[in-house]
Amino acid sequence: MDLALAHVSHRYNGVEVLRDISFAAPAGRIVCLVGPSGCGKSTLLRFLGGLERPDEGQVTMTGEPPAGSLNPLTYIFQDFALLPWRSARGNISLALEDHRLSRREREEIIADVLARTGLSDFADALPRQLSGGMKQRVAIARALAVRPACLLMDEPLSALDSQTRELLLDDLQGLWERERFGAVYVTHNLAEAVRLGHQVVVLSRRPGQVREIVEIDMPLSERKARAAELEAHQTRLWELMREEAMAADQEIADV
């Protein structure tokens, strides 16, 4: 299932935040959105997920979701969004409770996504008993439970320390190799973008516009071993963003 934005523009309280944005997120590929603070990355994610509508332009979803998909689009958030009184199993179950599934079907799905995310031994743990990385794995498992066509990920690793972030990057890469899901991944971290993105959409400072769409034609499974090439891509992204990132930072500091 493919997602696309065509000529999307938007204003908040009279302030133009996005101008004439167009890009596609094809099925089975990870598209990363990067750009200066305040350029509208999270707003675009909300448009793709149907949580808001743009003032101008179109958001389209074409093609069929995976067989058995309960929800074609699902979010993974920066702050995990777990219910503290529910176990890992219970938080995953929450995503299934509005669907017409038998208890046995729910239990089979939960057991499957716990295993796929390395959480089988932590099924009954409460969020307060889990590390930040483990909490995010629960959030990923909950998202996978509805068999989405596309994951919408809003800074999912930014709250984690560098070692945990590296482990989660490996996990996400491994999941994609097995599942071949589509994703739109918002991040400030250029290293994350080049590790995971098949395509990186570089946005300008507000009003956000597409400065460039950078293709990274390298299998995900080879990227850790080809660090020099990844660093070259990362340098290219920073060259595209540097001046505007500095200007955006100064704007925020002046407020």
> Which tokens belong to 233?
């891509």
Helix, strand, coil fractions of the chain, as percent rounded to 5? 45, 25, 35
- Three-class SS of residue 157? coil
What is the DSSP annotation of 161-193?
Answer: -HHHHHHHHHHHHHHHHHH--EEEEE-S-HHHH
A 10 A CB-CB count for 71 gives: 17
**pTM summary value:** 0.90
Cβ(69)–Cβ(93) below 8 Å? no
**Phi/psi of residue 58, each to 5°?**
-130, 145
pLDDT tens-place values along the chain, 255 residues long: 899 999 999 998 889 999 999 999 999 999 999 998 888 999 999 999 999 999 999 999 998 888 888 889 999 988 888 999 999 999 999 999 989 899 999 999 999 999 988 899 999 999 999 999 999 999 999 999 999 989 999 998 888 888 888 888 988 998 899 888 899 999 999 999 999 999 999 999 889 999 999 999 999 989 888 989 999 999 999 998 888 777 766 665 433
pLDDT of residue 254: 34
* Residue whose structure tokens are 């996990």: 171
Domain 1-24+32-65+157-255 of CATH type 3.40.50.300: yes
| Domain parsing of the chain, residue ranges | 1-24+32-65+157-255, 69-148
